[in-house]
Amino acid sequence: MSRIKVTHTSTSKRVSSDSYLFYNPKFLNLRHHQLVCNSLFENDKLIAQIHFNLSENEAISLPYAPFGGVDISTADSGHVSLLLEKAIDHIRNTGAIETITIKSLPQDYNLQLFEIQDSTLKNLGFDVTANDYMQYIPITDLDFRNLIDSDKNRYLNKSEQLKFEKLPNHKLKEAYRLIKKGRDDKGYALSMTLEEVEDLGKSFPENILIFGVFLDEVMVAASICIKVNNDILYDFHHDDDANYRSLSPTVFLIQEMYRYCQNNQYKILDLGGSMIDGKINQGLFNFKKSLGALASTKVSYRLKL
């Protein structure tokens, strides 16, 4: 007979070697400072975890990551339900927390886990507070030009003189500054400062990938990507230099990132969200869709205690 127990501690271990980066204990400790790690063990083997950051009267999984929720080696409704029930009871018993918020993983990262977690949270009384979307390109054997629309194919024809490079980590600052200038010009803010991205790069040098597009020796577009796990590459931020936009360096950049994913056995190139202030940015959404990107739901849930 299996022996199952749930513990509640301030420290955690990885559920599996291929858990998402955002569940890595080192990542969690970079920006989360009041962590509670709820862990489910079966016969003394770690099976599943969910992390919450406690802040004033709210527990959030996870505030400083794209998503939180349950990390589990094999999606199992019984294990997910038990872990969530015990985690909620523990948080309720602190007496200080009034609301619990859980940000789900994107649906297409792991459809089975997404559906189990969704139904379990609703059964436990959670309300849906947000339905966001991320967009991703599935990595297949198809050539990138077969995925994109006719306009983007014409754009690529302008890019023949451009060169793509995977850059060493010491180029992070240069890439970030190019991206930040592009975002500033459009009136959009970056979600992390240069210092925060540098700290992430120092902690996870193998998980931060920097790509650049060059015209001769001039960097005209760049992307900072995060290796989420062995299957998923997350295009954390990219942009181009407005002075070279007529060459369509961003479309060329994403084509080459797609090819990089093909050559390195990734299954998903995550192009990030397309929401601003809770609403779809239609122009951004359509641009990603024209590159062959599919939409995937990300749900936020809240329980009032």
pLDDT tens readout for residues 275-295: 877 788 898 999 999 999 999
Residue 236 bridge partners (DSSP): none
> DSSP secondary structure string, 209-262?
EEEEEEETTEEEEEEEEEE-SSSEEEEEEEEE-GGGGGG-HHHHHHHHHHHHHH
Instruction: Kindly list the domain boundaries of the chain, sorted by start residue.
Output: 4-132+299-304, 140-266
What does pTM read for this prediction?
0.94
Q: How many residues does the chain have?
A: 305
pLDDT digits 0-9 by tens, 119-152: 999 999 999 999 999 999 999 999 999 999 999 9
CATH architecture of the domain formed by 4-132+299-304: 3-Layer(aba) Sandwich (3.40)
What phi, psi does 198 have (nearest 5°)? -65, -40
Report the percentage of the chain scoring pLDDT > 70. Answer: 100
Q: Name the token pair of 201.
A: 């790069």
Residue type, 166: K
Specify the CATH number of the domain 140-266: 3.40.630.30
The torsion region of residue 202 among left (phi > 0), alpha (psi -120 to 50) and beta comes to alpha
Contacts of 184 (CB under 8 A, 6+ apart): none
pLDDT digits 0-9 by tens, 63-108: 999 999 999 989 999 999 999 999 999 999 988 899 999 999 999 9
pLDDT digits 0-9 by tens, 145-204: 999 999 999 999 988 899 999 999 999 999 999 999 999 988 888 889 999 999 999 999
